[in-house]
Amino acid sequence: LSQISAAQAIVYSGFNERKSTVSIICSPLSAQDNPLKYEFGDRDGRQNPEYVIQAIGLTANMSIADVGAGGGYFTVRFASVVGPEGKVIATDIKESYLDFIRERVANAGHSNVEYILAGEQDPRLPDRSVDIAFLSSVYHHLQEPLIYLQRLGPALKDGGRLVIVENFRRITSHGSRVKDVVAIAERAGFKLVKVDESQDRFFIAAFSFAGE
């Protein structure tokens, strides 16, 4: 496929909540630019999103930034967990991806998501805006991870956490080494709280901001 005029997507409004098939119109997107590419095959089987959400401690009323949200795989799930009194900020460097997520979120019936067009070197999140800054499979895309993480720190509220989810580098080149991520995050002013390596394919590293 070189062009896609409409993509059929299974959109989940929550984990095991109602499931509906919807048409997501994405006419300007080429197949390569369709963010659903991040959900090929059995993403739930690979990703275990319920486990991730429990591991990062996301609960109702919290605020979380889904940095580099792609097609909104985690955004819609986060929106369901934090509820109407909580907030999700979906960011990406691609405006078309944010448009895609907007439609997906609306179809799932959520109205607690905000959108920010990030810069390559700048997350552009307001200071002290979130309890969790969450990056899933984004870290290895960052051209200057040290600068990016330095700019992310002030976005955390007091006691907030930076969470980096990455595939293990030993499994795929689209991944990172735990020690490299921890080293850069610490240089950027974060303090490691925990690394969860219990999953087969990916790790979850949580940091506090040393400036807190």
Ligand X SMILES: C[S@@+](CC[C@H](N)C(=O)[O-])C[C@H]1O[C@@H](n2cnc3c(N)ncnc32)[C@H](O)[C@@H]1O
Cβ-proximal residue to ligand X, closest one: 70
We find the least distance from the C-beta atom of residue 17 to ligand X, in angstroms, to be 19
Q: Is 109 left (phi over 0), alpha (psi -120 to 50) or beta?
A: left
Residue from 93, 91, 82 nearest 102 by CA: 91
Quote the least distance from Cβ 63 to ligand X, whole Å. 17
Output 29 or 84, the one with its CB closest to ligand X: 29
Nearer to ligand X, 84 or 171 (CB): 171
Residue placing its CB nearer to ligand X in the complex, 63 or 137: 137
Nearer to ligand X, 73 or 207 (CB): 73
CB hemisphere CA count around 24 (13 angstroms): 27
The least CB distance from residue 37 to ligand X, in Å, is: 9
94 vs 102, which CB is nearer to ligand X? 94
- As to burial, measured by CB atoms within 10 angstroms (0-12 exposed, 13-18 middle, 19+ buried), residue 38 is middle
User: For binding to ligand X (CB under 6 A), which residues are involved?
Assistant: 38, 67-70, 73-74, 91-94, 97, 118, 120, 136-138, 141-142
* Least Cβ distance, residue 132 to ligand X (angstroms): 13
Instruction: State the minimum distance, in angstroms, from the CB of residue 85 to ligand X.
Output: 24
Tokens of 46: 């690979």
Of residues 13, 10, 1, 75, the one with CA closest to residue 36: 10
C-alpha to C-alpha distance for 90 and 71, rounded to whole angstroms: 10
CA angle 78, 83, 87 (to 5 degrees): 65
112, two tokens: 């607690």
